[in-house]
Amino acid sequence: MSAKDESEPSVRLVEQRIRNRIMEEIWTLSQGDAGVLEAGLTEWFEAFFDWFPYEGEPDDNPAMTPEEAVAVREVCKLMQEAIADTDISRDPTVDEVIRTDWPLRVAPVAKAALDLMLRRGRFSEDTEEPEPSSPIPWP
């Protein structure tokens, strides 16, 4: 058996980083139509689903409070409905997706989840923390 590589992040640090990435994706969703225009259609969907399943419940993340987890699940449910309702295999345009109103339906739920997460702030990317210590304004 080999010793743990000191450069390998701990499980907790990975959980913190994932929470930070989820916040970034939810921020994009909270922008509504502007978020789709900025990210592009593929990234608007796929960057979110890098962290969440296309179907079913998302995994728990111990770096989130129970309230944050509930709020993020609501966003996940809407995004699952949005992608199921959007035939991305036919390569719709950004304008076509905007016309479905999914970005506008997702935005307020995403904003509520993001606002809840921002109350605690962002975690360090380098140091394990029981609570976020990053009071920097973001986004």
Q: Is the peptide bond before 139 cis (omega within 30 degrees of 0)?
A: yes
pLDDT at 134 (0 to 100): 72
Residues with Cβ within 8 Å of 72's Cβ and at least 6 positions away in sequence, in order, are 22, 26, 58, 64, 113, 117
Q: Which domain holds residue 85?
A: 11-120
In a domain, 54, yes or no: yes
Instruction: Specify the pTM.
Output: 0.89
In a domain, 21, yes or no: yes
In a domain, 126, yes or no: no
In a domain, 132, yes or no: no
pLDDT at 53 (0 to 100): 95
In a domain, 128, yes or no: no
pLDDT at 6 (0 to 100): 64
In a domain, 77, yes or no: yes
In a domain, 4, yes or no: no
Q: Where are the alpha helices (DSSP H) in the chain?
A: 11-30, 33-39, 41-49, 66-85, 94-99, 102-120
Q: How confident is the model over 71-83, as pLDDT tens digits?
A: 999 999 999 999 9
Q: How confident is the model over 45-79, as pLDDT tens digits?
A: 999 999 999 999 999 999 999 999 999 999 999 99
Task: Give the number of domains in the chain.
Answer: 1
In a domain, 125, yes or no: no
